[in-house]
Amino acid sequence: MSTTAPEQRDQPTLALSELPAPPPSGWRTAERTLRLLTVAVTAAAAALLTGRPWLLALAAGPVVLVVLAAPGRTRPAKVSATAEVTPSRCFEGETVTARISVAHDGEVGLLDPGFTPGPGLTLREQRVGAAAVELEFTAARWGRWTVGTVDLDLYDGGGLARRTVRVELGEVDVFPAPTAAGLTPIPVRLPERLGEHASRQAGEGVEVVGVRPHVWGERQRRIHWPSTTRRGSIQINEFGAERAVDTVMLLDALGDLADPVSGTSTLDETVRAAAGLTRAYLRTHDRIGVISVGGKLRWLQAGSGERQFYRIVESVLEVRKDLGYRTPDLHRLPPRALPAGALVYAFTPLADQRILDVLGDLSDRGNPLVAVEIPFGEPAVDPSDQDEVWAGQLWRADREAIRFALRNKGVPVVTHQPGETLDLAVAPLRRGRIQGRQR
């Protein structure tokens, strides 16, 4: 197999996927045949017109080359190609391999693949063999992507004619690479379900929340001796109950903004950050649900376990289908999507009034709510242009006003910088417990 380094190694283009024009059917003359016959015909015609016989020598060589390359009756009449793409699901940065096998009768010469890539994958390497072609891609961005289309040119034995077979490589699900996160802030009130978070209610956990007088029949090993000697009566350690927390990830998919400097996409970072926090909560056996707002409202009821992570991720993959967006259709969030008292993390660039309305609605319901801002950079300002400077200041003031309005409603706003661990953004929330309006 020969290996070639294709030119499509750059980042995938942010454009709607377009299917290339269908290739012509059947065998057609190859470039080489056209070249040789054109030269031969020109030389012969020139010899006849000018009456200079030596010009026929210019025609003789190409004609002999064409005749000797003629494949006879070995040119295939039936050709088919099948593609196998593995794996069909992967995470960002992983490798996807497509193997295209060609079946034919007769004899073929070279295979020449022409690849039209889908928007979410980058072609890394292509290997062309005698009867198969292997393409290696890197999954560059999360989403449900069309892998691409391969127009496979088959040359006959002499390379005089070629035939094109089109192969669709299907779709591949690219899951977002979760942002690193380990901290799991919790709300004041936790549901009555066993978990790993120490609550303020008395229970059978391991975290001491206070001492109280001993009641006859209680276990002696719980006696808190320093308090007992100080107060003169037996005092017992009181432990906090360990509860699980219901958490809902609210994804703002109303728009996808690109940072003017780094080019990072807010939708990419939104889902990566949500996936990271989902993993962190699932590690502590909490129940996680998801709501994505934008295009079409999608939600998944809260659940726990490793499979819930994949269910959540698959439910949001449709948000971005080959970079095509449907008209936003936003209604009130369904009650079943939000368990009572569930902690809601809203991942949003805070750039759309509709998501601010949703956050206001959630805040009014009394759910403990945290807004995780996904920044999308600042607009480039020419310092020599005073109007632009003022516009920039106004833009920053507007952004700060949005944050202030949310904080004023009791919604903490934290900022997650792309590329950083989510713990840096979430750590301030660990100083206390997140309070909703219902206290």
Measured distance CA(270)–CA(257) in Å, rounded: 11
Q: Is the Cβ–Cβ distance between 320 and 270 less than 8 Å?
A: no
**What does the block give as tokens for 64?**
């002999």
Q: What is 335-369 written as a DSSP string?
A: GGGS-TT-EEEEEE-S--HHHHHHHHHHHHHT--E
Q: How many residues bind other proteins (CB under 8 A)?
A: 65
Q: Rule CB under 8 A: which of 295-324 touch other proteins?
A: none
* 67 touching other proteins, by CB under 8 A: yes
Nearest in space to 411 (alpha carbons), one of 340, 342, 338, 346 = 346
**Which residue bears the tokens 């209604």?**
331
Nearest in space to 93 (alpha carbons), one of 122, 126, 62 = 122
SS3 52: coil
- 408: exposed, middle or buried (Cβ count in 10 Å: 0-12, 13-18, 19+): exposed
* 65 touching other proteins, by CB under 8 A: yes
Which is nearer to other proteins, 50 or 327 (by Cβ)?
A: 50
Q: How far is the CB of 149 from other proteins (least distance, A)?
A: 13
Which is nearer to other proteins, 67 or 202 (by Cβ)?
A: 67
* 39 touching other proteins, by CB under 8 A: yes
Measured distance CA(87)–CA(170) in Å, rounded: 12
Measured distance CA(248)–CA(340) in Å, rounded: 11
Of positions 1, 14, 19, 131, contacts other proteins by CB under 8 A = 131
* 51 touching other proteins, by CB under 8 A: yes
* 43 touching other proteins, by CB under 8 A: yes
* 330 touching other proteins, by CB under 8 A: no
Nearest in space to 414 (alpha carbons), one of 356, 382, 375 = 375
Q: How far is the CB of 404 from other proteins (least distance, A)?
A: 55
Nearest in space to 98 (alpha carbons), one of 89, 81, 85 = 85
Which region, judged by CB under 8 A, interacts with other proteins, from 8-16, 152-160, 292-300, 354-362?
A: 152-160
Of positions 10, 11, 16, 50, contacts other proteins by CB under 8 A = 50
Which is nearer to other proteins, 1 or 67 (by Cβ)?
A: 67
Which region, judged by CB under 8 A, interacts with other proteins, from 154-162, 168-176, 260-268, 275-283?
A: 154-162
Nearest in space to 100 (alpha carbons), one of 134, 66, 71 = 134
Measured distance CA(113)–CA(299) in Å, rounded: 41
* 72 touching other proteins, by CB under 8 A: yes
Q: Rule CB under 8 A: which of 357-396 touch other proteins?
A: none
Q: How far is the CB of 83 from other proteins (least distance, A)?
A: 15
Taking residues 89 to 128 in sequence order and writing x for each that binds other proteins by CB under 8 A, - otherwise, the string is -------------xxxxxxxxx-x-x--------------
Q: How far is the CB of 48 from other proteins (least distance, A)?
A: 6
Q: How far is the CB of 139 from other proteins (least distance, A)?
A: 25
The contact set with other proteins (CB under 8 A) reads: 20-21, 27, 30-32, 34-36, 38-39, 42-44, 46-80, 102-110, 112, 114, 131, 153, 155, 159-160
